[in-house]
Structure 1
Amino acid sequence: MSPSLADVTRGRILFGGDYNPEQWPEETWHEDVRLMKEAGVNSVTLGVFSWSRLEPEPGAREFGWLDRLMDLLHEHGVGVVLATPTASPPPWMGRLHPDTLPRDADGRVEWWGGRQHFSHSSATYRRYAAAITEDLAARYAGHPALTMWHINNEYCTFDHGDEAAAAFRRWLREKYGTLDALNSAWGTDFWSQGYDTWDGILPPRRPHYMKNPGQVLDFRRFTSDMLLECCTAERDIVRRHTPHLPVTTNFMPLWTGQDGWRWAREEDVVSVDLYPDPRDPLGAQRGALVQDLTRSQARGPWMLMEQAAGPVNWRGVNHPKPRGLNRLWSFQAVARGADAVCYFQWRQSRQGAEKFHSGMVSHAGPEGRTFQEVKRLGADLARVADQVSGTRITADVAILHDWHSWWAGDHEGRLSTRVDYPEVLTAWHRALWEAHLTADFAHPEDDLSGYRLVVVPQLYLLTDSALANLLAYTREGGTLVCGFLTGVVDEDDRVRPGGMDARLRELFGIRTLHEWWPLDAGETVACEGFRGTLWSEEIEPAPGAAETVPYRGGELDGLPAVLRRDRAWYLSTLPEPDALRSLLAGIAAGAGVRPVLDGLPHGVEAVRRGDLLFLLNHGREPVTVPVPGTHRELLDGTDVTDTVTLGRYGVAVLRS
């Protein structure tokens, strides 16, 4: 059995963050470990951006400082998640080996001086990355502080250079076998793009006009695969030295560049970096979406690898977190399955590009509000850790999501650039979140039999296997709700006859999909009982086959905005938020799905994890929450009966 997060937590919640001690004199390290102990920190991540310190010139190794640090942390009871430093090669690599530098779609070199300046296809980069990983793993495999490996950091590099072009051609030959198959998949008869030799194929560099969408789709697939090759090569090295230790790499929230389902299968621990905007009124919901997706990728407990204790430094205006919000959002992650709550970073940097990105110890020092709140959070997590760590969340609802569908639907020639896949996904998740319906995410080819309700916000691309899976799910009694622009193309981005797969049209009771009618910014369409936004469709229902909610007025007057046939629903528009919430809540109730808790005040989130009920007040005013019966409140050790009061950004963890 592969090692897991449970092998590291052992009944605890990991608490800590990225630690970059090479930015500080060694006398600061002793102050750091003292403050870590004071705050309840039990885990730090080392070495994420330390390559130039570890290998200051080609082939050199400077491990002495890391030896002393690992020993110091172990002496103070702090475990180490040791990173391979390969996200940011030293300047000497790009200077001596220009082939390691990526190029953008215009052919411009991405130079050293920032980070992630590596070509995933460069044999030279891969050789140096393997060498430093090998030496790190060999040196620290037996160190008692080492608890987990962290590979690279936030893989996000695209490369259109010559070495990537050669790798792209190899990838395509393996996938298609023949040029005829590739030309068919890419539809190269359009605009005279037919290829007569593999050597003529390039990454989708900047053309005179629109790029071939099939080429772009495959390039996204290729990029995800090349980055994964880099990751698994380093993973395999550290596994060889420490087969008993789990390995992770950190995802970015709903990042477009990686097929997250495939990547998650290659990790022992699934981790994510999460930075909702504290000024965003939907920040908590956006956080919940990422948490639900990460838990679903992990198929159990997961790791919050990075969050901010205060402001970040990469938005136009970077606001701090108001008092209590850091604690609230940290507990939201735990409620939704996290067994690790960590930050970027431990001590706020005094120099460099991220010196205004917050740390657990801010520029104000240990007396500052940030560190005082971190201390409180560490103590609170310790109070509940033994009762929450390793427990799971059961959901009756699945939201289907697929990166390949996202990539295909994001091409230049689409009907509306206003249709942004992540925002559509967010709208549907928000409706369920506000209805207090806990949802998993699932791949469209996953086994869906354990869910009472499956929702498909938008899957523009559906494979034949995915279509068969949805049909089987409904035949076996499941309730399915699909949003617009679903089932339009096959896996090669080829439009299916009729503009929607015929099997789906039959399922929903659609005779003909005549036209798509995208809506302009600020434009809505009247429907019976609500208004639709973003999109509408000219649909002719099959006679007597479907129950409909019609459009009212305009070109689509009387045609169906919502169709239902048996347990299959289709929404040809995006209802406004209240209407979508009401519609999905009603469908869920009909499918036997109940809210986590009834009678919740506005702004209160409720999540069940194992035997515990988490209550989270996302408002600034105190609220009283009905909780029938008597419960133990684990954070303050009191008993509550029938009601619990939550203060500003308040949290309660109840055991019945």
Structure 2
Amino acid sequence: MPDLSDATRGRLLFGGDYNPEQWPEATWHEDVRLMKDAGVNSVTLGVFSWSKLEPEPGAREFGWLDTLMDLMHDNGIDVVLATPTSSPPPWMGRLHPDTLPVTEDGRTEWWGGRQHFSHSSATYRRYAAAITEDLAARYGGHPSLTMWHINNEYCTLDHGDEAAAAFRRWLREKYGTLDALNEAWGTAFWSQGYDTWDGILPPRLPHYMRNPAQMLDFRRFTSDMLLECYAAERDIVRRHTPHLPVTSNFMPLWFGQDAWRWAGEEDVVSVDLYPDPRDPLGAQSGALVQDMTRSQARGPWMLMEQAAGPVNWRGVNHPKPRGLNRLWSLQAVARGADAVCYFQWRQSRQGAEKFHSGMVSHAGEEGRTFQEVKRLGAELARIAPEVTGRPITADIAVLHDWHSWWAGAQDGRLSSRVDYPDVLRAWHRALWQAHLTTDFAHPEHDLTSYRVVVVPQLYALTDAAVDNLLGHVRQGGTLVCG
């Protein structure tokens, strides 16, 4: 299978999301000049361009993207081409309300933002497959194309009727019989026993606490449905370009995806990372995500997004002090990243993220942000031969499991003051402050290469995981448990 080295070709990838559809064509040539000046060698195109590519159902407007793909190639800049399926056009929700997700209290999430799609909608999946197929057929042979980026930051929840039907199918496959489901869910409590599959719904807004086993299975189901969406598009582009790697970007320590399972379905593991520049432990927060992403990738990984300056979604969005962008970028490289990229190239002048920084800020090329980006690009090009593909070894592993996190994050637990991410960060912080290189691992992973295995908090463990941890100790390893 292809991997990140097929895209880097001995370089550190440097660049980021490029959204030229927001700008007149005259700006594109100015962008290319600045990219070359900054040492940018890779851009991601098309992430949020579905309405531009398909302005009405079945229409295809590829001319602008043809121009950009050629422009990038002519200037020696590689393209990571995204499928635009994270943000469906308004016409889809208007014509096909079944494609819109529904919240737990029955409200429809409308278009006008992004990620407004139902992962279980057959209509959405059909349109997503069609635009992906046409993109892959048109650009699969383009010389600028080095990687595929599927969707963006999968995070949709859906409690609607089509998701309910899919949830029931998922449960039937998992449990086989209603008796087995009732036993596993403990439905004898509070008179919750089910006599028909049709009576089972996604967890919707209740009068009081919900069944914790139902909540856990719904989390598992949601992760699996989103993974099905990813895999469907991945398989389409792989059929056209089996030699090119495929990725989709994780959010850091995101609650909604079993990223261990997802990582096994990706050629390149990538993550978006936005520590708060005012947080005195921002570097440790970044290090945790970097260590986890490297462990999921089992080798080099891709920093798909970071901010060159302030973001736009915190209560107060502070700029990065001088030098912090360089420091955190080099920290990612030191922890195994072979790609350092940003959201986004040029700061938007309109829309919800017009105050989110870009590599080229509103101040332009003379501004501090671009000048720092330019210096970083030169530095990354200089060190690339020494660091690209370099293995990072650790003899300490911190165990983490999404299913255990989901199971423990229920109403009615022992203490709402025990927050799993905080516990995980505290244990990792102790190792980080002691300058000890740390991997993350799933409780069922092979642990034989680790001298010390740390278990911050695992509320739920499989029999296989328990046997694995006991075996680690019997073979002479040290197990540290919270």
TM-score bracket, shorter-length normalisation: over 0.9
Query: Within the alignment, does 1:209 sit opposite 2:208 as a pair?
Result: yes
For the pair 1:465 / 2:452, whether they are aligned, the reply is no
Question: How far 1:61 sits from its partner (Å)?
Answer: 0.1
| CA positional deviation for 1:470 | 0.4
SS at match of 1:304: strand
Asked whether 1:122 is paired with 2:138, we answer: no
- Alignment of 1:57 with 2:56, yes or no, is yes
Q: CA deviation at 1:415?
A: 1.3
Cα distance per residue 1:416-461 (max 9 Å; x no partner): 1111100100000000000000100000000101000000000000
Match of 1:177 in 2: 176
Secondary structure at 2:146 match in 1 = strand
Higher strand share: 1
Is residue 198 from structure 1 mapped to residue 197 from structure 2 by the alignment?
Answer: yes
Q: Report the alpha carbon displacement of residue 287 of structure 1 after superposing the two structures with TM.
A: 0.1
Match of 1:70 in 2: 69
- The answer to whether structure 1 residue 363 and structure 2 residue 357 are counterparts is no
SS at match of 2:365: coil
Q: Distance in 1 between matches of 2:473 and 2:2?
A: 37
Q: CA deviation at 1:12?
A: 0.3
User: Residue by residue, what CA displacement relative to the aligned partner does 1:461-494 show, whole Å, maximum 9, x if unpaired?
Assistant: 00111000000000000000000xxxxxxxxxxx
Whole-Å separation in 2 of the counterparts to 1:87 and 1:386: 35
- CA shift at 1:378, angstroms? 0.2
CA distance in 2, matches of 1:53, 1:7: 29
- Residue 294 (1) aligns with residue 293 (2): yes
**Please, which runs of 5 or more residues in structure 2 have no aligned partner?**
none
Q: Paired residue for 1:254?
A: 253
2-side partners of 1:343 and 1:129: how far apart?
25
Alignment of 1:331 with 2:330, yes or no, is yes
Matched with 2:91 is 92
Alignment of 1:19-168 (within 5 A): 19-168=18-167
Report what 1:443 is aligned to: 442
Q: Specify the alignment match of 1:648 in structure 2.
A: none
Q: What is the alpha-carbon distance in structure 1 between the residues aligned to residue 322 and residue 219 of structure 2?
A: 41
Aligned-pair distance for 1:130?
A: 0.1
- How far, CA to CA, are the matches of 1:107 and 1:292 in structure 2? 39
Helix, strand or coil at the partner of 1:18: strand
| Letter in structure 1 aligned against 2:105 | D
| Offset of residue 370 of structure 1 | 0.1
- Deviation, 1:187, is 0.4
| Cα-to-partner distance string for 1:294-322 (whole Å, 9 max, x where unaligned) | 00000000000000000000000000000
| Displacement of 1:10 | 1.2
2:372 alignment partner, SS class: helix
Q: Please report the TM-score for the alignment, with normalisation by the length of structure 1.
A: 0.73
Cα deviation, residue 127, structure 1: 0.1
Query: Paired residue for 1:589?
Result: none
RMSD: 0.3
Q: Secondary structure at the match of 1:275?
A: coil
Aligned to 2:281: 282
In structure 2, the residue corresponding to 1:258 is in which secondary structure?
A: coil
Q: Distance in 2 between matches of 1:82 and 1:234?
A: 13
Q: Give the equivalent residue in structure 2 for 1:234.
A: 233
Offset from partner CA, 1:607-636 (integer Å, 9 cap, x none): xxxxxxxxxxxxxxxxxxxxxxxxxxxxxx
Once the two structures are superposed, residues 161-188 of structure 1 have per-residue CA deviations (whole angstroms, 9 ceiling, x without a partner) of 0000000000000000000000011000
Q: Deviations over 1:545-592 (max 9, x none)?
A: xxxxxxxxxxxxxxxxxxxxxxxxxxxxxxxxxxxxxxxxxxxxxxxx
Post-superposition Cα deviations, 1:251-281, rounded to whole Å, max 9, x if no partner, equal 0000000000000000000000000000001
Letter in 2 for 1:38: D
Q: How does 1:539-554 map to 2 (within 5 A)?
A: none
Aligned length in residues: 482
Q: What SS does structure 2 have at the residue aligned with 1:133?
A: helix
CA distance in 1, matches of 2:382, 2:81: 27
Distance 2:411 2:314 in 1: 26
Task: Give the superposition deviation at 1:146.
Answer: 0.3
Alignment partner, residue 414 of structure 1: 413
- Secondary structure of residue in 2 paired with 1:326: helix
Instruction: Measure, in 1, the Cα distance between the counterparts of 2:407 and 2:428.
Output: 21
Consecutive unaligned residues in structure 1, runs of 5 or more: 484-656
Percent sequence identity over aligned pairs: 86
CA distance in 2, matches of 1:50, 1:418: 42
Higher-Rg structure is 1
Distance of 1:420 and 1:138 partners within structure 2 = 47
Shift of 1:387: 1.1
SS at match of 1:305: strand
| Paired AA for residue 365 in structure 1 | G
Residue type matched to 1:232 in 2? A
Q: Is 2:378 the counterpart of 1:343?
A: no
- For 1:7, the equivalent position in structure 2 comes to 6
The separation in 2 between residues aligned to 1:27 and 1:280, in whole angstroms, is 40
Runs (4+) of structure 1 moved beyond 3 Å? none
- Superposition deviation, residue 204 in structure 1: 0.3
* Greater helix fraction, Structure 1 or Structure 2: 2
3-state SS in 2 of match to 1:327: helix
Secondary structure of 1:163 counterpart: helix
CA distance in 2, matches of 1:482, 1:463: 16
Matched to 2:106, the amino acid is G
Q: Output the CA distance in 2 between the equivalents of 1:275 and 1:134.
A: 32
- Partner-residue secondary structure (3-state), 1:366: helix
What CA distance in whole angstroms lies between the structure 1 residues aligned with 2:105 and 2:238? 38
In the alignment, the residues of structure 2 paired with residue 482 and residue 47 of structure 1 have an alpha-carbon distance, to the nearest angstrom, of 45
Deviation, 1:405, is 0.2
Alpha-carbon distance in 1 for matches of 2:54, 2:10? 37
Q: Distance in 2 between matches of 1:392 and 1:206?
A: 48
Distance 1:413 1:90 in 2: 41
Summarize deviations over 1:498-536 as a string: whole Å, max 9, x none.
xxxxxxxxxxxxxxxxxxxxxxxxxxxxxxxxxxxxxxx
1:434 matched residue in structure 2? 433
